[in-house]
Amino acid sequence: MNVIIKNASVLNAEGGLERKAVVIENGTISSIVDDNEAVQGGEVIDAGGKLLIPGLIDMHVHLREPGFEHKETIETGSRSAAKGGYTTIACMPNTKPVTDSPEIVTFIKDKAREAGLVKVLPYAAITKEQKGGELTDFAALKAAGAIGFTDDGVGVQTAQTMKDAMALAAGMNMPVIAHCEDNSLVVGAPVAEGSFARKHGLKGIPNESEAIHVGRDILLAEATGVHYHVCHVSTEQSIRLIRQAKQIGIKVTSEVCPHHLLLSEEDIPGLDANWKMNPPLRSRRDVEACIEALLDGTIDMIVTDHAPHSAEEKAKGMQLAPFGIVGFETAFPLMYTKFVATGQMSLALLVQRMTADPARVFALNAGELKPGAPADLTLIDLDAEKEVDPESFASKGRNTPFTGWKLKGWPVMTVNEGRIVWSEEAVAGLKD
Ligand SMILES: NC(=O)N[C@@H](CC(=O)O)C(=O)O
Ligand SMILES: [Zn+2]
Ligand SMILES: [Zn+2]
Across the range 172-198, mean pLDDT stands at 97
Residues paired with residue 20 on neighbouring β-strands, in sequence order? 8, 34
pTM for this entry: 0.98
Residue 58 gets which letter from DSSP? E
| Dihedral of the alpha carbons of 234, 238, 240, 244, in degrees to the nearest 10 | -130
Residues paired with residue 414 on neighbouring β-strands, in sequence order? 378, 422
Percent pLDDT > 70 in the chain is: 98
Query: Structural domains in the chain?
Result: 55-361 (3.20.20.140)
Say which of 100, 151, 286, 305 is annotated catalytic: 305
Per-residue confidence (pLDDT) for residue 41, from 0 to 100? 75
- Please name which of 273, 366, 362 lies closest in space to residue 311, comparing C-alpha atoms: 273
Per-residue confidence (pLDDT) for residue 1, from 0 to 100? 66
Is there an atom of ligand 1 within 6 Å of 277 CB? yes
Q: ipTM surpassing 0.95, yes or no?
A: yes
The best mutation among 70, 305, 395 to test binding of ligand 1, ranked by most ligand atoms within 8 Å of the C-beta, falls on 305
Across the range 180-201, mean pLDDT stands at 97
CA nearest ligand 1 atom 6, residue: 153
Confirm or deny that 151 is annotated as ligand binding.
Answer: no
Across the range 408-414, mean pLDDT stands at 98
Confidence of residue 427 (pLDDT cuts 50, 70, 90): low
Is there an atom of ligand 1 within 6 Å of 396 CB? no
Across the range 75-81, mean pLDDT stands at 98
- Please name which of 86, 130, 74 lies closest in space to residue 308, comparing C-alpha atoms: 74
Is there an atom of ligand 1 within 6 Å of 307 CB? yes
CA of 1 to the centre of ligand 3 (A): 38
Tens-place pLDDT, residues 225-272: 999 999 999 999 999 999 999 999 999 999 999 999 999 999 999 999
The best mutation among 278, 304, 399, 400 to test binding of ligand 1, ranked by most ligand atoms within 8 Å of the C-beta, falls on 278
137 is catalytic: no
Is there an atom of ligand 1 within 6 Å of 324 CB? yes
